[in-house]
Amino acid sequence: MAYIETFWMACDSTEQLRAEYGPFHGRAEAETEAARLGFGYLLRYEHVLSDNEEIQEVRCVFIELHLTPAPIAAVRRLHTRCATCGVSSVHDEPWRAEVWADIHEFEHSRHRVRLFEQTQSQMREIGNWRDSVA
Ligand SMILES: [Zn+2]
């Protein structure tokens, strides 16, 4: 009497050279992980086991997920860069950028720190930022 053991992997394609992540015992769990990784497929492995738990057959079935595009993460990073000496830093919070600039401009008189905002793949400069907060 054979029985079947099933487990799930998240994978990024159905190609031979694919990235797989897992295993998971449940499909829901695998789907959650696939979504997190941006993987578009699940792979269901079925091991057909004999009485003494020897694998007699391995079946695998790809299941394509219809991922809704991940919500655009509101990732905004602030880059400060000194126009005078070129030292730069990255910040998550505007106030950290300001503190960084304050310290830098305090330690190096006449240096001028510029601020850039990076969202997704775009980088734009925020002009006159030091004047507006003063
Ligand atoms: Zn500087």
Residue 8 has pLDDT above 90, yes or no: yes
Reading the block at residue 39, the tokens are 């993987």
Q: 51 and 10 share a domain?
A: yes
Q: Is 69 a member of any domain? A: no
The pLDDT of residue 73 is 55
CA of 125 to the centre of ligand 1 (A): 17
Domain that holds residue 81: 76-133
Residue 86 has pLDDT above 80, yes or no: yes
CA of 22 to the centre of ligand 1 (A): 48
Q: 32 and 85 share a domain?
A: no
* Strand order across the 113-119 sheet: 88-91, 76-82, 113-119, 122-126
Q: Is 71 a member of any domain? A: no
- Give how far Cα 110 sits from Cα of 14, 67, 96, 104, 105, Å: 58, 52, 20, 10, 7
Q: 85 and 55 share a domain?
A: no
CA of 87 to the centre of ligand 1 (A): 6
- Give how far Cα 16 sits from Cα of 11, 13, 93, 115, 134, Å: 11, 8, 43, 46, 59
What span, in angstroms and rounded, lies between the C-alpha atoms of 97 and 76?
12
What span, in angstroms and rounded, lies between the C-alpha atoms of 7 and 26?
7
The answer to whether the predicted template modeling score (pTM) of the entire model surpasses 0.85 is no
Angle at alpha carbon of residue 110, lines to 105 and 111, rounded to 5°: 55
CA of 121 to the centre of ligand 1 (A): 26
**Which tens digits make up the pLDDT trace of 36-51?**
888 999 999 999 988 8
Q: How many domains does the chain have?
A: 2
Q: 85 and 129 share a domain?
A: yes
CA of 97 to the centre of ligand 1 (A): 14
What span, in angstroms and rounded, lies between the C-alpha atoms of 10 and 81?
41
Q: Is 70 a member of any domain? A: no
Nearest Cα to 82, choosing from 121, 56, 110? Answer: 110
CA of 100 to the centre of ligand 1 (A): 11
Which protein residues have a CB closer than 5 Å to ligand 1 (ion)? 82, 84-85, 108, 111
Q: 60 and 100 share a domain?
A: no
CA of 75 to the centre of ligand 1 (A): 27
